[in-house]
Amino acid sequence: MPSLPETFADLYGHAPDGVWSAPGRVNLIGEHTDYNGGLALPIALPHRTSCAASARDDDVLRIASLQEESSVEVRIDEVSAGHPSGWTAYVAGVLWALREAGYAVRGLDVLVDGQVPLGAGLSSSAALECSVAAAASELFGLGLLESAEGREVLAAACQRAENDIAGAPTGGMDQAAAMHCTPAHALRLDCRDGASTQVPFDLDAHDVVLLVTDTRASHALADGQYGARRDSCEKAADLLGVATLREVVGRPLDETLAALPDDELRRRTRHVVTEIERVDSVVDALREGDLAEVGRLFVVSHESLRDDYEVSCTELDLVVDTAVSEGALGARMTGGGFGGSAISLVRAGDVDRVTAAIEEAFTQARLAPPVSFAVTASDSAHRD
Ligand code: ADP
Ligand code: MG
């Protein structure tokens, strides 16, 4: 197999200036809280997306990927909502957003190679954006990779690319994880102000493994339902007279819920408020090394997402129920829901049995086989 720089050279007729990469992520807890100004707790995956790139002295972006057939050539000043369309929007959008933010970026030749499974809820989109942002920062001398503040600027540009150019109305958690996570730590991310702190997450010391199961399911309702959940949260915040639901965390929950007019809004709000509280409970349990408590909180989170927020699905519930009945310390869906991935906290000696049981449960239910793999907390975007 030719290397990524070799393939780049074949495609563009010259060597790349370098290769940059950024990780996918799994969120340990704090789901559907980012757009409520809440808390999340992602780790960076060992799975990364690489971007081989060279700087141009014009404004042209040439964009190709080893995972996609389509490629594009577009000038930065032609980039706009929906243009270019498809996957190249995630790349072109980053250069557009950096220029919008006042940075002097020029054109790039880009070839992408991603190891993050696409569309599995493991954030291949942010890994892609952030690998490109890392390349742009170094190739145009922006110096933004060198500091936490600079990385915040890059993460914000990547989020704008995803929201404004690719048209996916996501919160900022994925890009923050790809820019700020460190090995053997989870990132406690405060989505209200973007502040983050590192929380020790070294399961080896406890002989425990974090197992990710990609259900390979993706239900068509995901996009519309995501928008509907965001709308419900905005409506509830409006009715409660606050900017975001984060503001009611810490107030008596029964009083908050009593002020809402219908059961659905009450359940959506209850999920968001209790989920934000659970993030700090997991942080405390991790600091105390109490993984049984972390696992218990995973299950409570899953039930809240399933019953109150209604974003789970058959496949995700099956992973969680099977893992827990096989002795996992806990399990939950992760990511937006309606498919994607689940995580289980499993004693090292039980991993094979839990994995086999999940596969067997899917076979019995006549569902396509899921893919499970153990992960460790890995590193953020950097030059390779
Ligand atoms: P997730 O981020 O959970 O993987 P998304 O739907 O947010 O799911 O992003 C997946 C999309 O990101 C893909 O459909 C594709 O458009 C783009 N993408 C991610 N990685 C790559 C890659 N290596 N090459 C081309 N496009 C990619
Ligand atoms: Mg994504």
Residue nearest to atom 8 of ligand 1 (CA): 119
| Cβ < 6 A, ligand 1 pocket | 49, 65, 67-68, 87, 90, 112, 114, 118-125, 128, 168
The interface predicted TM-score (ipTM) is 0.99
Task: Judge whether 95 and 154 are in contact, CB under 8 Å.
Answer: no
pLDDT of residue 221: 65
pLDDT of residue 321: 98
Buried b (16+ CB within 10 A) or exposed e, 12-40: beeebbbbbbbbbbbbbbbbbbbbbbbbb
Ligand nearest to the CA of residue 22, numbered in listed order? 1
Ligand nearest to the CA of residue 87, numbered in listed order? 1
**Residue 374 and residue 45: Cα distance in Å, rounded?**
10
pLDDT of residue 264: 98
**Residue 128 and residue 49: Cα distance in Å, rounded?**
6
- Mind listing the pLDDT tens digit for each residue in 23-47? 999 999 999 999 999 999 999 999 9
Residue nearest to atom 20 of ligand 1 (CA): 124
Strands across the sheet with 42-55, in order?
68-75, 60-65, 108-114, 42-55, 18-27, 382-383
Structure token pair of residue 38: 């809440």
222 pLDDT higher than 70: no
Residue nearest to atom 11 of ligand 1 (CA): 125
Average pLDDT over the chain reads 96
- Mind listing the pLDDT tens digit for each residue in 81-99? 999 999 999 999 999 999 9
Q: Is 204 a catalytic residue?
A: no
Q: Pick the atom of ligand 1 nearest to 122's CA.
A: 3
Task: Judge whether 51 and 20 are in contact, CB under 8 Å.
Answer: yes
Q: Pick the atom of ligand 1 nearest to 335's CA.
A: 3
Q: Pick the atom of ligand 1 nearest to 89's CA.
A: 16
Q: Ligand 1 pocket test: pick from 20, 125, 316 the residue with the most ligand atoms within 8 Å of its Cβ.
A: 125
DSSP designation for 210: E
pLDDT of residue 20: 98
Find residue 201's DSSP bridge partners.
none
- Rounded mean pLDDT, 120-133: 96
- With H, G, I as helix, E, B as strand and everything else as coil, classify residue 214: strand
Task: Judge whether 304 and 29 are in contact, CB under 8 Å.
Answer: no
- Mind listing the pLDDT tens digit for each residue in 295-341? 999 999 999 999 999 999 999 999 999 999 999 999 999 999 999 99
Ligand nearest to the CA of residue 52, numbered in listed order? 1
- Pick the catalytic residue from 113, 174, 308, 350: 174
- Mind listing the pLDDT tens digit for each residue in 333-381? 999 999 999 999 999 999 999 999 999 999 999 999 999 999 999 999 9
Residue nearest to atom 16 of ligand 1 (CA): 87
The H or E element that residue 259 is part of is none
- Mind listing the pLDDT tens digit for each residue in 138-185? 999 999 999 999 999 999 999 999 999 999 888 889 999 999 999 999
Comparing CA positions, the residue from 339, 332, 124, 364 lying closest to residue 212 is 332
- State pTM to two decimals: 0.95
119 pLDDT higher than 90: no
Neighbours of 251 (CB within 10 A): 12
